[in-house]
A = this chain, B = another copy of it.
Amino acid sequence: MKIVIAGAGAMGSRFAIMLKRGGNEVTLIDGWPAHIEAIREHGLRANLNGEELSVPFPIYAQQEVPTDVQADLILVFTKAMQLDQMMQTIQPMIGAETKILCLLNGIGHEDTIEKYVAADKIFLGNTIWTADLIGPGQVRLFGEGSVELQNLKPGYESEAKEVAAVLADAGLHAAYSENIRYSIYRKACVNGTLNGLCSILDVNIAQFGSTSTARKMVETIVGEFAAVARHEAVELDIPEVVRHIEETYDPAGIGMHYPSMYQDLINNHRKTEIDYINGAISRKGEKYNVATPYCDFLTQLIHAKEEVLEAK
């Protein structure tokens, strides 16, 4: 199958390597010149569970996307704020039968993708695979993960199952989901609490969880996500989601880690994905006439912090 990875960062690189090893013809698109350069020179170098690999790929910068390659399947793996730009630049690779799979964290990416592709060609999912970018052209891929996905448009279940099968055949432990929106909202609740709150309080997950006000803040934010989700026929189980978030506080688990937004904003002074997590809930809240003050306030605080730190 002709697969394009649109955004060959850490996670895109993992999927590229595994899908290529699974027998697919994989092309990369990326926006980082040094990364493209390194992959052209040495292939994509990876440490995959201890095994050192160097895998050659055709790779194109976004401004040089080929006009003679049409993909069967495109996986978008950009940062949320780069998705729209990426969708524009990969237009030449999208044919009448090209499917788009979006596994990005956050809420509402389908609205962006639907501006460029018909709904019946869009598949949404999420993944718990992990990946680290070590430097240009080099990734570290440890541990196991899985993927769930579903068709955006009702009636395209068999196509979704075909996409899942392509990923599963490559060892990506992919499965069709009956209710991917539930999984997406549930995962967005984790990101919508820990990311922003740990960043603004300058703490790791365990420290956040140890505060006496953590539960009230988490419950209120999850309540806002649930109120918005209800307007999209997703009924979040609030106590279950709160418990799921509170399980991450364990210092023996991921508690000692700083969430990705903390790393982006506080360590690296990069702009965050807040507009696609809490900010997306605020926008949907406005649309559905649901008050989302904690999401609004947290989004405003994170943007203020981005500006103060001159995040790029």
Contacts and interface: CB of A to CB of B under 8 A. Distances in A.
Interface of A: 197, 200-203, 207-208, 210-214, 216-217, 220, 291, 293-294, 296-301, 303-305, 307-308
Given A293-B293, A297-B293, A207 B308 contact: yes
B217 A300 contact: yes
Given A207-B308, A210-B307, A308-B211, A201 B294 contact: no
A297 B300 contact: no
Nearest to A200: B200
B212 A297 contact: no
| Copies of this chain in its oligomeric complex | 2
Contacts of A291: 291, 293
A298 to B, nearest CB: 8
In the A-B complex, list the 9 residue pairs whose CB atoms are closest, starting with the nearest: A293-B293, A213-B300, A211-B304, A211-B307, A213-B304, A213-B303, A217-B300, A297-B297, A203-B308
A202 B200 CA distance: 9
A301 B208 CA distance: 10
Given A293-B293, A293-B297, A294-B293, A304 B220 contact: no
Contact of A208 (B207, B212, B297, B304): B304
Give the interface centre of A212, A298, A301 by most chain B CB atoms within 10 Å.
A301
A37 B299 CA distance: 50
